[in-house]
Every structure is written in C-alpha cells, then in structure tokens.
Chains A and B, each alone.
Chain A
Amino acid sequence: MAEATLTSNRLKGLGGTLAKQGILIAFIVFMIGFALFSEKFLTSGNVMTVIRQAAIVGVMAIGVTVVVIGGNLDLSVGSMLSFSTVLVVDLHDKIGPGEAIAVMLVATLVLGALNGFLIGYLRLNSLIVTLGMLSAIQGLTLIYTGGQNVDISHQDTTWFAVFGRGQVFGLPVPILIFAVVAVIVHVVLAYTPYGRRVYAVGGNPMAAVFSGIRRNRVVACSYLISAFCTGIAAVILGSRVMGSQNNVGQGYELLVLAAVILGGTSLLGGSGSVLKTVIGVLILGFIQNGLLLLGYAYYVQWLVTWVVIILAVWLDVAAKRGRLFSPIA
C-alpha cells in the first residue's frame, strides 16, 4: 500500500493530467479529426443522429455500469434487448402501447431478477451465468415468436412512436431519455446510500459484508437496474423500428461492455461512473459515424475501436499507476 501511496503522485504535471483525462482528450481529438475531413460531421443534424443512434447502447451501458461497479459483468443484455423489444412490439397491437410497455418491463425485470438471484444470492460467477442467460433468453425469444418477425401495424397513428421518433423542444426523444436515465442513475450512484453500497460491494465485497451491507441484495438490485435500462432501450428500439427481429440485440452486449470499459470503469469493480460511460458511448458512436462519413468500410471501425479501447484504458491504468509501462518483469 505504501508503494501505491508513493507512486500515485508520480505522473504529475502535464503528462499526468493528459493521462487522467485520456478518454476526454481522445474524444476531442476524434471529433476534431473527423470534422476536418468531413464537413458534414459536425452539423447539428449529424450530431443529433449519432446521439440518437447511440441512445440505445447508451441507456443499456448505463445499467451495465452499475453492475460492473458492483464487481460483476452482464453479458445477457444483448439477448435481453431482443426479448424485450420483441415483447413490447408484439404486445403493442394486442393489448395497447401502455399495457405493452408495462408487461414488457415486468417481464424484463423478472429476467433481471433471475440474474440477480443467481449471481447475488447463489453467488455464481457472473460471466458464466450471464453467458448462459444470453443463450437461454435468445431461445425464449424465439420460442415466444416462433421465429417470426413482429411488427406494429399502425405506425403513424400510435403514440408509441414518440419514444423512438418523437421530438420535444426540438430534441429527439431518444436523446432526452438517454439524458434522463443518465442523470437519474448518476444521482443514484453518487448521492444515495444504495450507490455508496454498490461502490463498497464492488471495491471490497468482504469488507462490505463486515460493515453490515447486504451484498446479496445490492448485487441483485444492480441486475434489476441493468434489466430495467435494457427495457427502456427496448422501448426506444421498438418505437424507432416499429418492428423487431428475434436477434435484434445480438452483439449489443459487447458494444455495451466496450462502451463501459472505454469510459474507464474498472472491470474489477468499485470504481467508475455513469458520466464516463456516457463519454464511452459517444466515442463509439462518433467513431462509427465518422468513419462511415469518410467512406471507410464498416469493418474499419472495429480496427479503430481496438486501438482506441487499448489506448484509452492503458492511459487510465497508467495514470492510476503513475507509470506508462507496467512494472511486471
């Protein structure tokens, strides 16, 4: 520990500041770079489009941030998104939009509760449990629809359209939802007893229990939050597309995780924040959009993401460590 005390001051000055704000700087560099090469990039229309597109990943990533700060992983959010979107779209015509959203949220929370029970109460490894749930929920979705696409028939008349397509005060509703969810979860994490407990459980689960914190419940709740956010993302997605395929959320779990990591939330738990995740989400979104505008094939963005993730996390780790390179021999 003494070691950490000594070295934490090491990367002081400009280098340290740069390293600590690495992700923000990367963000700015990217924005400037893209803006120089594509005049369309920084138009308000494009910026709105990118954030609107990023809202779905963003809302989910905010939920997953809570799970990760609590020291766990959630890989099931991708297929949960498929499940929830299919459910809300399918029920929309059958029981009406409001009811559909309510039923979908309850069903999604049940899945989240199952995750929470297995990981929080039974103490099973979160990576493997959510991997299993990834597969199982995808299967459930397919069984529910029998593999058929689901669609909303009267797209132009339903008020359900507002979530994905509407505008309030000139701002697209998905962006507003994204912002509201970010603010709420940020407040929960930073200013409520529950938030404090999440950090404690993620930072040192044993010490948290020895302080009388009900770790089981804290962890289980983090999965409920994650599921709830996924449910909200499903509303945006369903409303935006007005239909859903059974695999619509496939691969989202990794995008979401990449965004959380990019933001600098540690996979070890106990540190991180919603605001960082929001930046991570936006970076991914703007990289994707910028490269597309520059005319690069879509797969180039994967290569860029690789480099960005490693550089961003490296800088973050280096700032905490106080040295650029790891001291391991």
Chain B
Amino acid sequence: MNAFDTALRVQGIVKTFPAVRALDDVSFDVRPGEVHALLGENGAGKSTLMKVLAGMHRPDQGRIFISEEPAILHSPLEAKRLGVVLIHQELSLAEQMSVAENIFLGELPRKNFGMVDWKKLYADAEAILQRLNCDFGPQTRVEDLSIAKKQMVEIARALTVEAKAVIFDEPTASLTDQEKEVLFDVIRDLQAQGVGIVYISHRMEEIFRISNRISVLRDGTYRGTLETVDTNEDEVTRLMIGRSLDTSRGGKVVSTGPVVLKVENLSCGDLFENVSFSVQAGEVLGFYGLVGAGRTAIAEALFGLRRLSQGKVVLNGQEITITSPRHAVEQGLALVPESRKEQGLVLGMSCRDNMTLPQIGNLTTGPFVSNGGEIAIFDRYRDLLSIKTPGWRQLVGNLSGGNQQKIVIGKWLAMRPKVLIVDEPTRGIDVGSKAEIHNLLRELAADGYAVIVISSEMPEILSVSDRIIAMYRGEITREFTADEVTEDNLVQAISGLS
C-alpha cells in the first residue's frame, strides 16, 4: 500500500461562522484500514470538521479528496454515496419506525409508484445486521430497543454503502464495556476491509487501544498528528489543552464521618431489588455497573422520581419517605442528573436563574425575588467552582459542557445538601474539564459532604471513589473499598461473574 494513498483527505480547510473562525487551515487525512483518532477539547472545532467531512457544512476554503479524487459535498447523502459516513453521537433514529427503515432512511428501495420494496429492504437490512452480529431483526421497532442496540442500528447505517471512510463521533458514550467490545470488533472488521476510520472520543484509554494515529485540534487550528505507538496520554493532553494535567489525587482516606444516608432493602419494580447501602459524610461512594443495571434508577428513586415497592430510607438517623423531588430537596438530597441538557438545565434561562432555581421560593424579599440575594449566590458558586461565563445574564445554553455541568453542581451545592448524588458527572465533557470536576467532587467530600457518584467509566469511578458498589441487573453484587478494587474484579462484579 502506498503511504500517500488516503481514504479521505482534507487540505487547508477554513470554515468561518460570522463571529467565529471555527476551522482555520486544517489539514487531515485517514488512510484505508487505519483508525485515526481526532482529539480536542469541546469547542476546538472537532464537530465542525466532522460536519465538513460528512457534507453537512461546506467549507469556505480548502479541498476534500475521497480516495484522492477531489469532491465537493453538498449534503450528507451525497457524502454517503461517495463513501463517507458519519455515525452520530446523539442518536438520530426515528423511534416509531422499523430497524430496517432506519438503516435505509432516505434511500428506501423503491418499486413502482413510489412504493417501498419491503422484501429487498428487509433482506438487505438483515444482511447488515448479521454482519454486526445483532440479535434483533430488521422489522423490530426502534423504540423497543435498548440504547446500545440503537447505537448498533446507527452503525448499521454506515454499512449500507461501500464505505471508504467512517467517522465515529463519541460512539461509546452510552455503551457498556461489553457493548464496547462488540463495537471495537466492528471497527476492526471495517479496518480489515480497508475502510478508513475517523474516531472521535474523549476517552484516552480507548484511543490508545484502537487508534493508529492521533490528530489534535485546538481553537480551530491543527496542532499535529502523532503515531499512537510513539506517544502517551501526557503528550496528547498537552497538545490538546496546552498544559499538562494533574490527574493524581490525594491519598484515599477511609472516611470516619457519621453515616448520613442509609438505605435498606430498597426495591422498585423490576428496576432494582433489595438494595442496601450507606454513605458517610466526607466520602465519595461510587456506583458502577452496566447501563440499565439499576444505578440511575436508585438515584431517581431516592430523589422521589420513582415509586418504591419496598424498603427503608434513613437520613441522619431518621426514617423518611420521599414522595416527590420537591420533598427530596426539602430533606436535603440533591441529584445532578445523568442528562444535563434534558434534566439538569433550562437552556433558555440565564446562568444565575438556573443556579437559584431550586431555592427560588426562599430567595425573596417580601413577595419578590431578591435580585441581590440571587447574584450573591451566583457569584459565590461561580468563584467556588471556577465557572467561566461572561456574566450571570449569559444563557446557560451558550456555555461549554463542562461549565454547564458546574452550574448544575453549583445549583445543588447552593442548597447545602446532606447528600449529593452525581449521575455521570463528566459525560460529554472534555478531558481538561473532566479532571477539574473530579477534583471538585473530591474536595466536596473533603468538605464533609456525603457524595454518591454514578458512572459508566471505569477510570472515573476508580479515581474518584472511596468505596465502590458494583451492580448487576438491579442487584448489588459486591462492595469494594478503594484498596480492594482492581479493574479485573470490578469488571467481574458488574458482569455477574463474581
């Protein structure tokens, strides 16, 4: 193979939005059969580049070559027909339609009179699903599938054409470790067929596992390409954020604080059963398990969002029954939910208004909201959490993911909760901010908060927790202290093997 032979190559790409130069003279290529990881903090221009590659944006300057043939891409469909396929991070499926229809969306096979050729559709879809080792049929309705399986449908879309290059945008964000393996198998399979893979992820360990080369973007500019075997996380991180990152954490102390929350024999439908645990002031308790293992459901139940079928919740020695989120808040519980944009924030409201939302009823002088009181709270937690925002009036939707997450955390800290539950603290957040949030969680525990962290990322749960509870299919399989836990026994525990 000729080293200059590329599956997809862009040269000198410039893309300007009126206020921002999103991409400035970026060149990038992927060879047939390689995995080329694309890295950069949020806002570095990754998604713009990706959209340029997939025909969703037209660059102001620069050229695109597919298999060294110059190409002008007007639409995603055109890109796809030429062999460049983007697999979206956020699922873009029509839930009410069948798997087969989703795979061939936009190009359903036709018979006469615009009728769909169902026979061909199902046969073709079946063939693709088999290639991906999927255990569901083409006629299944997408709404009946789990998130991971939906992701597979998304991937299946890429295989409807003779792809030359496939772009994966954070494909593992909502996958469990097992499902991740299936995905990596698929990627290897594609590699073997000579397809070039562009792989975008924040997860270093994945990148170092599967990629051949790593390219880094910062502030819309190209910062260089490294051969994966020749580099390490530090070097990549430095390129990305322009400094090195302190990911080490202080020694794990076994907390001796009082038990704040104690939960006994909690059950909720078939979501989880007989769950018992306790969390002390000054510690971080980690919940680890596959998606759907019941971790989030426990958090939601504690927060009054689910009806418990049995069990006892004891807070500071007093048994309580939580009937609504409102009630949970009054009791001193706080939940930073897993989906920031859907559950955590009102994107159309200002930073300040979001932060004071849970306590707005108390922030009053007379019947009116006290403007000064609100701003005082906002300033305090902005400084405490180093939230970067031009001012309190800024709409929260305009902040970066990391700063948004800090607003959500700040919103609950301002309530001075007894227990802070954080579900997926760093989902979709870039590496720099990730470490910051991890440190923040540690500091909160050090300040005496009882913190519960739920995560699907093993490095995260390992680095942040004092104790770890492993869950499998709605039950607690094992509880680890920081000293006991290893990657191996944790994986076993959440796979039902221990």
Q: How would residues 340 to 377 of chain B score, 1 for a CB under 8 Å from any chain A CB and 0 otherwise?
A: 01111111110001000110110110011100000000
Roughly how many angstroms separate A210 CA and B329 CA in the complex, as a whole number?
9
- Known contacts A204-B342, A210-B344: A196-B335 contact under CB 8 Å: no
B364 touching A204, Cβ below 8 Å: no
Q: Count of chain B residues with Cβ under 8 Å from any Cβ of A?
A: 41
- A299 proximal to B (CB < 8 A): no
B398 touching A8, Cβ below 8 Å: yes
- A213 proximal to B (CB < 8 A): yes
Roughly how many angstroms separate A192 CA and B366 CA in the complex, as a whole number?
9
Interface residues of A in 274-329 (CB under 8 A from B): 322, 329
A193 touching B369, Cβ below 8 Å: yes
Contacts of A200 in B (CB 8 A): 346, 349, 353, 357
B347 touching A210, Cβ below 8 Å: no
Q: Which residue of A lies closest to B329 (CB)?
A: A212
Interface residues on A, range: 20 to 34
B349 touching A211, Cβ below 8 Å: no
Roughly how many angstroms separate A77 CA and B494 CA in the complex, as a whole number?
56
Min CB–CB distance B145 → chain A (angstroms):
22
Contacts of B346 in A (CB 8 A): 199-200, 203-204, 207-208, 270
- B43 proximal to A (CB < 8 A): yes
Contacts of A214 in B (CB 8 A): 324, 326
Contacts of A208 in B (CB 8 A): 346, 357
Min CB–CB distance B76 → chain A (angstroms):
10
- Known contacts A9-B19, A212-B325, A213-B326: A204-B347 contact under CB 8 Å: yes
- A122 proximal to B (CB < 8 A): no
- A115 proximal to B (CB < 8 A): no
- Known contacts A7-B18, A210-B337, A212-B329: A192-B367 contact under CB 8 Å: yes
B47 touching A210, Cβ below 8 Å: no
Of A2, A203, A209, A213, the residue contacting B347 (CB under 8 A) is: A203
Contacts of B369 in A (CB 8 A): 191-193, 196
Roughly how many angstroms separate A76 CA and B363 CA in the complex, as a whole number?
35
Q: Which residue of A lies closest to B341 (CB)?
A: A1
B398 touching A207, Cβ below 8 Å: no
A209 touching B342, Cβ below 8 Å: no
Query: For the complex, would chain B's binding face be called helix, strand, loop or mixed by DSSP majority?
Result: mixed
B22 touching A6, Cβ below 8 Å: yes
Min CB–CB distance A318 → chain B (angstroms):
14
- B427 proximal to A (CB < 8 A): no
Contacts of A271 in B (CB 8 A): 348
Q: Which of B341, B353, B361 has the most CB of A within 10 A?
A: B361
Roughly how many angstroms separate A270 CA and B360 CA in the complex, as a whole number?
17
- A197 proximal to B (CB < 8 A): yes
Roughly how many angstroms separate A212 CA and B75 CA in the complex, as a whole number?
43
Query: For the complex, would chain A's binding face be called helix, strand, loop or mixed by DSSP majority?
Result: helix
- B4 proximal to A (CB < 8 A): no
Min CB–CB distance B232 → chain A (angstroms):
29
- A157 proximal to B (CB < 8 A): no
Q: Which residue of A lies closest to B337 (CB)?
A: A210
Q: How would residues 236 to 274 of chain B score, 1 for a CB under 8 Å from any chain A CB and 0 otherwise?
A: 000000000000000000000000000000000000000
Q: Which residue of B lies closest to A268 (CB)?
A: B348
Q: Which residue of A lies closest to B357 (CB)?
A: A211
- B20 proximal to A (CB < 8 A): yes
- B397 proximal to A (CB < 8 A): yes
Of B19, B75, B335, B357, the residue contacting A213 (CB under 8 A) is: B357
Min CB–CB distance A253 → chain B (angstroms):
26
B357 touching A1, Cβ below 8 Å: no
- A5 proximal to B (CB < 8 A): yes
A4 touching B397, Cβ below 8 Å: yes
Q: Which of A2, A12, A208, A271 has the most CB of B within 10 A?
A: A2
- Known contacts A192-B367, A207-B343: A4-B398 contact under CB 8 Å: yes
B18 touching A9, Cβ below 8 Å: yes
Q: How would residues 377 to 416 of chain B score, 1 for a CB under 8 Å from any chain A CB and 0 otherwise?
A: 0000000000000000000011000000000000100000
A-B contact pairs, 20 of them (CB 8 A): A1-B347, A1-B397, A1-B398, A2-B43, A5-B398, A10-B17, A192-B364, A192-B367, A196-B360, A197-B360, A204-B345, A210-B305, A210-B343, A211-B325, A211-B357, A211-B358, A212-B325, A212-B328, A270-B346, A329-B75
Q: B-side interface residues toward A, CB under 8 Å?
A: 17-20, 22, 42-43, 47, 75, 303, 305, 324-326, 328-330, 335, 337, 341-349, 353, 357-358, 360-361, 363-364, 367-369, 397-398, 411
Q: A-side interface residues toward B, CB under 8 Å?
A: 1-2, 4-10, 12, 187, 191-193, 196-197, 199-200, 203-204, 206-214, 270-271, 322, 329
The 8 closest A-B pairs by CB, nearest first: A212-B329, A203-B346, A6-B17, A9-B19, A193-B360, A204-B346, A211-B357, A10-B18
